[in-house]
Amino acid sequence: MTKHRLFWPAAVLAALLLANVAFTPDFFAVRIKDGHLYGSLIDILHFGAPLILVALGMTLVIATGGIDLSVGSTVAIAGALACLHISESADPGGLGTVLTAAGLALLVALVLGSVNGFLVSRVGVQPIIATLILMVAGRGVAQLVTDGQIITVTSGPFQLIGGGYWLTVPFAVVLAAAMVLLTALLTRSTALGMLLESVGGNPVASRLVGIRAQRLIALVYVFSAVCAAVAGLMISSNVSAADGNNAGLWIELDAILAVVIGGTSLAGGRFSLGGTVLGALVIQTLATTIYTIGVPPETTLVFKAVVVIAVCLVQSPKFRAKLSHRRRSGARRGSRSESAAPANLEVGR
């Protein structure tokens, strides 16, 4: 069972959830109030939905051996544009206005993603640097859109995206689940997932077998930006405001962390959407846990750092080799000293 690649992320999540019960005994309680589901577990899903989306896009980018640092800025730009459109329209509560706003945000995300994709696939810039440009400039653009202010909107349909409920479940959770399922279908029921892994595993070999790597790579950056834009809509809708400075701040790091915890290798070549969802939930649960324990929330960063290092070390072939070497040599030493006992030979195996 421990061999299954979702085992470790799931185990960590379960351990974190159980740890919470020690502090809040009714942690697992889910009750229905006013026709909505309430409870800590629902909160984790609800507030984790944007992160799941961003991490979803990030997973595919990382599967091709790339990285997208610009998602945080895309979150901010998407939220800012949508809120600006709604606040300036004559009918902020109208469904048409909100759909146009969401469409506008997604359209801009398409453009931003294409810029990243173009830089990485056509110009050949390293992904970290190519997306760094948008990460730097994007915050400025978001500030420009909001004119440095926090735009607040009052719009029922818009509020539904991030803060509303649909059939007792938070709408954001439904939206995130739908996106995850759609992506899983697209990548695992068609050849797309395998092609992405192939490009990430060995770009040259992929090109030689006839895969259009450039187009695929550009595509994943566009997809990542669109996911980030939807997350941006959720975040700004949840608070009914757009904050160019703080919306989606550090979300790129959380997303990368979620992907890494989920067992997707940063070197590219294989990915696990289920792992990413678990990873995102681990991070959200960690944040919740820290709030419930009463540690200053800012120190979450220290825990995250420890988790990143631990996960990366476990993923590193060198580290594994050193560890197993040490274990093997230790076992050999042990069996040599007690070579009379044949039962000890089991240890070395």
Report strand pairing: 241-243 vs 165-166. unpaired
Between 179 and 311, CB nearer to other proteins: 311
In angstroms, the CA 307 to CA 338 distance is 38
Please tell me whether residue 35 binds other proteins under the rule CB under 8 A: no
Between 202 and 335, CB nearer to other proteins: 202
In angstroms, the CA 221 to CA 74 distance is 12
Report strand pairing: 241-243 vs 31-33. unpaired
The size of the interface with other proteins (CB under 8 A), counted in residues, is 48
Which of 102, 106, 139, 251 binds other proteins (CB under 8 A)? It is: 139
Between 129 and 178, CB nearer to other proteins: 129
Please tell me whether residue 305 binds other proteins under the rule CB under 8 A: yes
β-bridge partners, 36? 33
Integer-rounded Cα Rg, in Å, for the chain is 23
Please tell me whether residue 140 binds other proteins under the rule CB under 8 A: yes
Which of 22, 95, 136, 345 binds other proteins (CB under 8 A)? It is: 136
CB 76 within 8 A of CB 136: no
In angstroms, the CA 105 to CA 107 distance is 5
Q: What is the DSSP secondary-structure string of 89-157?
A: SS-TT-HHHHHHHHHHHHHHHHHHHHHHHIIIIII---HHHHHHHHHHHHHHHHHHHHTTSEEE---HH
Which of 137, 182, 185, 191 binds other proteins (CB under 8 A)? It is: 137
Please tell me whether residue 306 binds other proteins under the rule CB under 8 A: yes
Between 185 and 314, CB nearer to other proteins: 314
Please tell me whether residue 296 binds other proteins under the rule CB under 8 A: yes
Between 74 and 159, CB nearer to other proteins: 74
Which of 99, 309, 325, 334 binds other proteins (CB under 8 A)? It is: 309
Q: How many CA atoms lie within 13 A of 65 on its CB side?
A: 20
Between 214 and 315, CB nearer to other proteins: 315
Which of 319, 326, 338, 345 binds other proteins (CB under 8 A)? It is: 319
Between 194 and 295, CB nearer to other proteins: 295
In angstroms, the CA 131 to CA 212 distance is 22
CA dist 45 → 88, 138, 218, 285, 297 (Å): 32, 28, 30, 9, 19
Binding mask 92-131 for other proteins (x = CB under 8 A): ---------------------------x---xxxx-xxx-
Q: How many CA atoms lie within 13 A of 7 on its CB side?
A: 5
> Which range in 87-95, 277-285, 314-322, 339-347 contacts other proteins by CB under 8 A?
314-322
Binding mask 217-256 for other proteins (x = CB under 8 A): ---------------------------x--------x--x
Please report, as ranges, the residues that interact with other proteins according to CB under 8 A: 67, 119, 123-126, 128-130, 132-141, 143-144, 147-148, 244, 253, 256, 260, 266-267, 296, 298-306, 308-309, 312-313, 315-319
